[in-house]
């Protein structure tokens, strides 16, 4: 299937599997977006007049909106040829739109709400309409209609939410919009008369899609490194803050280790062996979404115990210090089931250990709480290492 300049629209065996430089360029925008979300959360946790839990909810809505933009783009470039000019134009549109949304994030529930919402709606609808027109309905004339149907459903909630002055009403409207968007994503955009159809249902570039998920998770870890470095470079470099800095770095390495052992490193093999690769790719997207949200929240916890290692530990801080790693392990557990149709006891044990820390950590300082979490992560990583020594390398056997 070729466009008017003779370039392919659909991928084939000759299409390169590695991410293009333009796709990696797009990822830089999302690095910036994650730093803005982290900055919002840090302010919510550290300023007394802020409602921390409302701030977390707002940051989650913004994160989900950005993740939806990235996910649709990645699925598209794992189904379509990213070197085709039409596809490259869509990626550039996404880059500009996502950057505009990112700069609006710090005040997206205030003065920049309309900018965030209108940019999101314009981007999501605009790139589908452009692809449908520029591609002359190829390669699938019905798929853009399905996606457009769901984006049009959610658009009024995004736009009206961005224009109202009441933050509570805005949050409710944007929550409805997110639910609509993710229902469409999860179910393959079911549409009257046309039914449902996920992107890449006929063929999907497993190696490319797997690499893109892995790259975004590394982006999230890189954002956590950014938070750690920024927090420590602005500190007094006293022994307690230095201990917090080292502890945060060790914890980040452990998150990396837990992800890539073993499921995170064989995503392409699981997609290749899947009976329904498009469905598995959808579930993998949600597992990575949970893990990345957990990493962002964990990075906020790093900032808290680096800057205030021995101070009072507010109960709300446990949402970041304990909740972030717990979210990561939940997503990682789901991914393991998707890849191997099983769940390691170490993952379940890690989650239970974090749960047991909840009633204990309010009585200790932030640094001690961070150290306890690091020990839990070390235990999970250690169990993985022991399992690898006792058993031969495992072949993916996806659940779907």
pLDDT digits (tens, 9 = 90+) for 157-201: 999 999 999 989 999 999 999 999 999 998 989 999 888 887 766
Give the single-character DSSP code of 190. -
Q: Is the pLDDT of residue 81 over 50?
A: yes
Q: Is residue 196 part of a domain?
A: no
Regarding whether 256 and 128 lie in a shared domain, the answer is no
Do 112 and 211 share a domain, yes or no?
Answer: no
- Domain count for the chain, please give it: 2
Backbone angles phi, psi at 309, to 5 degrees: -65, -35
Q: Are residues 145 and 294 in the same domain?
A: no
On whether both 166 and 225 belong to a single domain, the answer is: no
Cis upstream peptide for 219 (omega within 30°): no
Q: Are residues 108 and 226 in the same domain?
A: no
**Is residue 169 included in any domain, yes or no?**
yes
Non-local (6+) Cβ contacts of 399 within 8 A are 280, 337, 338, 341
Confidence at residue 8, expressed as pLDDT on a 0 to 100 scale = 64
Q: Residues 26-40: what's their mean pLDDT?
A: 95
Find the domain containing 60 and state its range. Answer: 21-187
Q: Is residue 193 a part of any domain in this protein?
A: no
Domain termination residue (choose one: 141, 159, 187):
187
pLDDT at 380 over 90: yes
Question: For residue 6, is it within any domain?
Answer: no
Q: What are phi and psi of 227, to 5 degrees?
A: -65, -45
> Backbone phi, then psi, for 195, in 5-degree steps?
75, -160
Place of tokens 């490259």: 88
Torsion 222-344-182-44 (CA) sign = negative
Q: Do the domain assignments include residue 395?
A: no
In a domain, 399, yes or no: no
Write out the H or E segment, with its range, that includes residue 130. Answer: helix 113-134
Q: What is the pLDDT of residue 267?
A: 92
More confidently predicted of 398 and 6: 398
Q: How confident is the model at residue 3 (pLDDT cuts 50, 70, 90)?
A: very low
| Least-confidence region, from 74-78, 82-86, 237-241, 388-392 | 388-392
Asked if 220 and 364 sit in the same domain, the reply is: yes
Q: Are residues 225 and 279 in the same domain?
A: yes
Residue 323 located in a structural domain: yes
**For residue range 305-357, what is the model confidence (pLDDT) as tens digits?**
999 999 889 999 999 999 999 999 999 999 999 999 999 999 999 999 999 99
Whole-number pLDDT of residue 75 = 85
Task: Identify the domain boundary among 137, 155, 187.
Answer: 187
pLDDT tier at 82, thresholds 50, 70, 90: confident
Q: Is the pLDDT assigned to residue 205 strictly greater than 80?
A: yes
Q: Token pair of 235, please?
A: 């500190």
Is the per-residue pLDDT at 140 higher than 90?
no
| Claim to verify: residue 133 and residue 243 sit in the same structural domain | no
d(CA 8, CA 212) in angstroms, rounded, equals 21
CA distance 265 to 251: 19
Q: What is the pLDDT of residue 225?
A: 95
Name the domain boundary from 187, 217, 242: 187
In 3D space, the residue among 89, 76, 79, 78 whose CA is nearest the CA of residue 5 turns out to be 89
- Render pLDDT for 51-61 as a digit per residue (tens, 0 to 9): 899 999 999 99
Residue 52 shares a structural domain with residue 107: yes
Per-residue pLDDT band for 1 (boundaries 50, 70, 90) equals very low
In a domain, 224, yes or no: yes
* DSSP label of 6: S
pLDDT (0 to 100) of residue 83: 85
Is the pLDDT at 259 greater than 70, yes or no? Answer: yes
- pLDDT tier at 6 (50, 70, 90 boundaries)? very low
Find all residues with CB under 8 Å of 111, minimum gap 6, and list them. Answer: none
Q: Is the pTM of the predicted complex or chain greater than 0.75?
A: yes
CATH code assigned at 303: 1.20.1410
| 127 and 71 in a common domain | yes
Give the mean model confidence (pLDDT) for residues 232-254. 95
If asked whether residues 129 and 36 sit together in one domain, one would say yes
**Whether residues 177 and 224 fall in one domain:** no
């Amino acid at each position: 299937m070729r466009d008017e300049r003779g370039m392919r629209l659909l991928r084939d065996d000759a299409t390169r599997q590695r991410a293009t430089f333009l796709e990696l360029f797009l990822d830089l925008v999302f690095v910036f977006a994650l730093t803005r979300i982290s900055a919002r959360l840090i302010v919510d946790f550290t300023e007394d007049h802020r409602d921390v839990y409302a701030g977390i909810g707002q940051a989650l809505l913004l994160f989900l909106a950005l993740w939806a933009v990235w996910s649709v783009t990645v699925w598209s470039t794992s189904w379509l040829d990213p070197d085709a000019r039409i596809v490259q134009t869509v990626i550039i549109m996404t880059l500009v739109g996502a950057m505009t949304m990112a700069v609006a994030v710090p005040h997206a529930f205030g003065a920049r709400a309309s900018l965030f919402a209108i940019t999101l709606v314009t981007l999501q609808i605009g790139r589908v309409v452009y692809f449908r027109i520029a591609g002359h309905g190829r390669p699938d004339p019905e798929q853009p209609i399905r996606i457009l149907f769901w984006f049009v459903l959610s658009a009024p909630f995004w736009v009206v939410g961005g224009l109202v002055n009441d933050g509570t009403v805005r949050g409710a409207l944007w929550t409805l919009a997110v639910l609509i968007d993710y229902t469409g994503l999860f179910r393959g955009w079911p549409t009257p008369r046309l039914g449902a159809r996920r992107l890449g249902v006929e063929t999907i570039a497993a190696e490319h899609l797997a690499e893109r998920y892995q790259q975004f998770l590394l982006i999230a870890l890189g954002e956590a490194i950014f938070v750690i470095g920024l927090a420590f470079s602005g500190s007094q470099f006293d022994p307690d803050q230095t201990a917090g800095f080292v502890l945060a770095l060790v914890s980040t390495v452990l998150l990396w280790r837990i992800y890539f052992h073993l499921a995170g490193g064989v995503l392409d093999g699981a997609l290749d062996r899947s009976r329904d690769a498009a469905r598995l790719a959808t579930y993998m997207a949600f597992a990575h979404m949970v893990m990345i949200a957990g990493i962002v929240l964990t990075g906020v916890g790093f900032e808290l115990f680096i800057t205030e290692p021995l101070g009072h530990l507010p109960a709300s801080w446990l949402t970041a210090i304990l909740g972030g790693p717990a979210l990561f392990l939940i997503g990682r557990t789901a991914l393991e089931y998707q890849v191997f149709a099983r769940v390691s006891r170490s993952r379940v044990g890690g989650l239970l250990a974090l749960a047991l820390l909840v009633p204990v950590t309010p009585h200790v300082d932030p640094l001690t709480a961070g150290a306890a979490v690091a020990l839990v992560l070390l235990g999970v990583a250690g169990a993985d290492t022991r399992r690898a020594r006792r058993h031969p390398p495992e072949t993916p056997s996806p659940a779907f």
